[in-house]
Chain A
Amino acid sequence: MQTATLTDVTVNAGHLGGVVKLRGASAAKMTARDVNVYYGEAQALRQVDLDIGEKRITALIGPSGCGKSTFLRCLNRMNDVIEGCRVTGRIEMDGEDIYDTALDVVRLRARVGMVFQKPNPFPKSIFDNIAYGPRIHGFANHKNDLDEIVQTSLERAGLWLEVKDRLAAPGTGLSGGQQQRLCIARAIAVDPDVILMDEPCSALDPIATAKIEELMDELRTSLTIVIVTHSMQQAARVSQHTAFFHLGSLIECGDTDEIFTNPQDERTQGYITGRFG
């Protein structure tokens, strides 16, 4: 499993549109170097080096338990919540070490939002769900400001027309797809630079999935998205970059087209053609 060394990544980094150089790359929003993650004694990630391109969608694929969700959760330090979880290595965002003790994790998470596998709206009204983030961060000094943030967020998430007449209704009363878009709107409302999505469509039907994918494509114009997905088709449809993880290591990463048509590693080849996983 030591094949995904720096050299591999250097080679593959060349695929990132030719723009991304490995270190100090200007178009990389986030960079991860030598990232190892341990849950207690068990090592979940080994020596991961990966650049996340700005205003791109990066798909993380791989079989279950390969560490892709763990990696995703490193990017906004959600792993801090898990007891016994230890992260080593260096992850930077805009050149700033996000694991630096001087950096406040609360501020980091305001800049790096997250959408989860299962829609998790708060047991509050639709309005309060969206307004929650802006309120705690003090974005809105005025009720009108808040109204505006809620409306734009819902509009950007493509949910405004469906819910504008029932903003006081509980968010949990929406359908699964609507709930997930509500969670995306909730994440957008804080105006983050990056949104992490952990299998956002795995609990949704194809129509709701299509809506979310459409939404991601629109959001790409203004933010950076990292998505973990089990669906090869989804990765191929929505992403510009793809990273393949296997048994805790990053095997291969590069342009999505390249990975899907001409994978360099035979494990990648095997996974995307469905021979294992």
Chain B
Amino acid sequence: MQIYLPIAEVSVDGLLLFGIGSMVGLLSGMFGVGGGFILTPLLFFIGIPPAVAVASAANQIAGSSFSAFLAHMRKKTVDFRMGVVLLAGGFIGSAVGVQIFTILRRNGQFELTVSLLYVVMLGTIGALMLIEGMRALRRRNDPNALLVPRKRHTWAHGLPLKVRFRTSQLYVSAIPPFVIGALVGVLAAVMGVGGGFIMVPAMIYLIGMPTKVVIGTSVFQFLFVTAFTTILHSVQSQTVDALLALILLIGGVIGAQIGVVVGNRLRAEQLRILLALLVLGVCLKLFADLVIKPAELYSLAAS
């Protein structure tokens, strides 16, 4: 079933798009990862212009994090005060990211930059996951091996501008979460990812936030940052394809529900290795596209 995407201005197979959405949803349901980092490159592969893929992915993440946010709010696992600090950084980061996006596009370097960023990011995440998965597979017999003690005091506690975050039971400088939020905002605008793979470990290891509230608070930030990014991109880049986002979103929600069930039945370590291999595969394909001589050296852009 061919669907014409009005902003991307390409016709794509609607079922394929739905399939990609559900596959990414399945992954997020199984592993609790957002999946934006794998969604956007897959959109490149099926011929969606990178600028549209990135901006529409931000729109899709806004939708998918909304229901997750509501669930976390019911469980009271959102630290709103921390969330607001992350969000303040996120808004600024997103605004900067949209400017970078515009400049890169004007110079015809957006596709290259975003591909390189993805190669580096997916390569790193994939390798880390593979190592972690192998290690977990080896020490499966030791049930306590995965429990890493949370550091109560890190260098982040020595910085000024200290704020008390009650939900997280922390008294820590607002600067590190602000910077982390800003970084994630830039990534949302330039790469079309939520940024959970950076935010979650950074909040746990750098700031010492309890794992229980990290996810809920991150989702709160992603929701508003991606919504803000979507609006900025709509106004400045005009590359948000709401129809594309909607199809991915519906596929994603269904996939996520299935993913939770599947994830509970299968062995986590083996799944993790499988996901790592998938991430590395996507990374390799992106890299190959950059290195192998393209069939068409010329490209057109409206001017």
The reply to whether chain A is a binding partner of chain B is: no
